[in-house]
Structure 1
Amino acid sequence: MGSLNRPLIFALLLLSVIAGCEESGGDNQIPFVFVDETINLNNFEFLDLKTLGGHVTINAGVRGIIIYRESNTVYRAFEKNCTYQPLDACADVEVDQSGLFLIDPCCSSKFNFDGFPFEGPATRPLLEYRSSVSGNTLRITNSN
C-alpha cells in the first residue's frame, strides 16, 4: 500500500517545489548588464544636475539610468527598468511630470526618489547603481 502512494507523494512534492519557485506579483529579475559610466558634470547635457532635485536620463543599463541629485554630494542612479514584470516591453520607469516621483506608466507603479514603491503593483525597489563623485566627475557602476 505504501508503494502505491509514492508516485502521488512525489507528484505533490514536485508541484509544491515548482509553485514555490514562481515569482509572486510579476516581480521577475531585471536582466544583468555591466555598468561603468563616467560623467563630466560640467557638460551641458548634465546641466539639470547642478541643482538639488535635478535629474537626467542616460543611455546605459538595461533601459536607461535616471540620475537624481539628492544633495550637494549625493547622486542616486536608478535603472529605468520597472521591478514589476521587468521583462515586459513597457516596463519603463520615468520621472513623473510633477518631478516629485518616478512612475511606470504601463503598470502605474510609483516610486519615491529613494527607489521604493509606494503605489501600484510593484513591491520591490528600483535597481540602484553605485555612484560616487570626485570633483566634477560622477561615476556610476555595478562593479567593484
Structure 2
Amino acid sequence: MRKLTIILLVVISCFSCGKASDNVPSVPVNFQAALGTPALSPLNVSGGAVAINGYGVAGLIIYRKVNGTYAAYDRCSSYQPEKKCAVTIDNTGFTVTDPCSGSKFSLEDGTPVKAPATKALRSYRVAVTQFEIQVTN
C-alpha cells in the first residue's frame, strides 16, 4: 500500500509540472481618466475603441460595446503571452489583431475569433461615472 501511495504521488507530481503559466500575467492595474479627454473621444460612440500604453502587461484596450457598456482588456495577446505581443485595433473597430501570430480577438467579449489563439484576452473591471472612467483588476 505504501508503494502504491508513493507511485501515485510521483504521477501526480509529474502531471502538475510543466509550463509555469500560459496565461497573461496578472499585474496591478488602476487607470482612470476623464471621459471628456480628447484621447478617449472614440469611446463616445458604440463600437469605439482606444489603446492606452503604460498599464497592464502590454497596455490596455478600452472598448464601448454595442449596448453602451464598456469593456477593458490587456493588450498582451493570450497566444504565447511570454512574448508580450501587444494587440492592435483593427480598422473595423470590432476586433483586435496580434501582429506576432495573426490571432484575432472580439472586442465584445475578448474571445479569439481567428487561430492560433484559443484563450480570451485578460479582461479588467470598468467603472464609469458621469465624467470619469476607471479600469482596475
TM-score range, shorter chain: 0.7 to 0.9
Report the TM-score, using the length of structure 2 for normalisation. Answer: 0.82
Whichever residue aligns with residue 136 of structure 1, its letter is: F
Which residue does 1:94 correspond to in 2?
Answer: 88
Deviations 1:22-61 (A, max 9, x none): 35xxx71222211111110101111111111111111211
Please list every run of 5 or more consecutive structure 2 residues that lacks an aligned counterpart in the other structure.
none
Contact kept? 2:106, 2:112, Cα under 8 Å:
yes
- Percent sequence identity is 37
The count of aligned residue pairs is: 133
1:121 aligns with 2:116: yes
Contact kept? 2:74, 2:121, Cα under 8 Å:
yes
Deviations 1:7-31 (A, max 9, x none): xx95x974774355335xxx71222
- RMSD between aligned residues: 2.6
| CA–CA distance in structure 1, aligned partners of residues 33 and 61 of structure 2 | 13
Which residue does 2:106 correspond to in 1?
Answer: 112
Which residue does 1:53 correspond to in 2?
Answer: 47
Aligned pairs for 1:69-88 (under 5 A) are 69-71=64-66, 73-88=68-83
| CA–CA distance in structure 2, aligned partners of residues 18 and 103 of structure 1 | 35
Contact kept? 1:76, 1:131, Cα under 8 Å:
yes
Which residue does 1:103 correspond to in 2?
Answer: 97
Which residue does 1:22 correspond to in 2?
Answer: 18
Q: Which has the larger radius of gyration?
A: 1
SS at match of 2:51: strand
2:34 to 9, 15, 40: 40
Shift of the alpha carbon at 1:138?
0.7
| CA–CA distance in structure 2, aligned partners of residues 44 and 119 of structure 1 | 32
Shift of the alpha carbon at 1:100?
3.0
